Copies of this chain bind each other. A is one copy, B any other.
């Protein structure tokens, strides 16, 4: 049987027709238009789902269920998104609304948890008994997998790893606290530091690679300039690694998963990101002579959200 995975993001809605091996047979995307009423957003989701099934040459009866990965806190029992800050969902009856258009079971999960599930079943953490996927993007997200199942706490609002304070009274975070890991280790934080470094060092390669406009710096710009030995880029990256390593060591001391998978845009750097990090993280662990948690970059890229949503039938009751 096939299933459909929907990855609802702040920018776009991505939908994929997925087989039992986690392969996306067909996919499509439309802008989210997140300021619109939820009914319109969900209507677009439904239309895109039907299109993807049809384009794939299948019919509804070939599909097991629709899995939806959404930001926020899902309640799979009531079929609602309890709360989300990015898109304004509040006790929003997503399942009921989707089923107005499509007569299929609808499973709900948090989007970061879907990505973690996909990495655990068909990605970097395949074969592990426990893993945490940490996503370094606009923010820092997390998904906990134990024994092939998502663990998100008693109310499904857990694994907000990015909102673990690592510097009490530190850099203000969007959540209202100060010093959250996200304010130091998101891609946004790296880019912010690099922009400052470039603005202060206009003769740097970092500034040059951004075309003489610090505002144009992206994650890749920093890694490229640092690889070429640019001191401004190296300083920004050293700052970034310092806090990233502290947070990762916290996650491991706390939970001790068999593997930590690093996802999100920066994970495209692969070993360029991880190699300098591994020993620093290991040196901070409380038990350094027990078997060590493996660190790897994500294998499924941006498609992890769709694939994980399509796999929810294995991790949640249908």
Contacts and interface: CB of A to CB of B under 8 A. Distances in A.
Nearest to A82: B290
B166 A287 contact: no
A286 B157 contact: yes
Nearest to A151: B146
Given A155-B290, A159-B256, 19 more contacts: A73-B290, A83-B289, A83-B290, A129-B154, A146-B146, A152-B256, A153-B258, A154-B291, A155-B291, A158-B253, A158-B256, A160-B254, A160-B287, A163-B286, A167-B167, A167-B168, A168-B170, A175-B286, A177-B284
A154 B254 contact: no
Contacts of A44: none
Interface stretch (A2-10, A199-207, A243-251, A304-312): A243-251
A164 interface: yes
A274 interface: no
A6 B177 CA distance: 42
Nearest to A170: B168
Nearest to A259: B154
Which of A166, A256, A258 has the most C-beta atoms of chain B within 10 angstroms of its own C-beta?
Answer: A256
Given A165-B166, A168-B167, A158 B254 contact: yes
B157 A287 contact: yes
Nearest to A284: B177
A232 interface: no
Contacts of A90: 289
Nearest to A152: B256
A110 to B, nearest CB: 11
Interface string A12-29: 000000000000000000
Interface in A76-133: 82-83, 90, 128-130
A39 interface: no
A264 interface: no
Interface string A255-291: 1111000000000000000000000000010110111
Report how many copies the assembly holds.
2
A286 B129 contact: no
Most chain B CB atoms below 10 A, which of A82, A168, A253, A291: A253
A253 B164 contact: yes
Contacts of A167: 166-168
A56 B229 CA distance: 73
A242 interface: yes
A191 interface: no
A277 to B, nearest CB: 15
Contacts of A83: 287, 289-290
A129 B152 CA distance: 12
A161 interface: yes
B153 A130 contact: yes
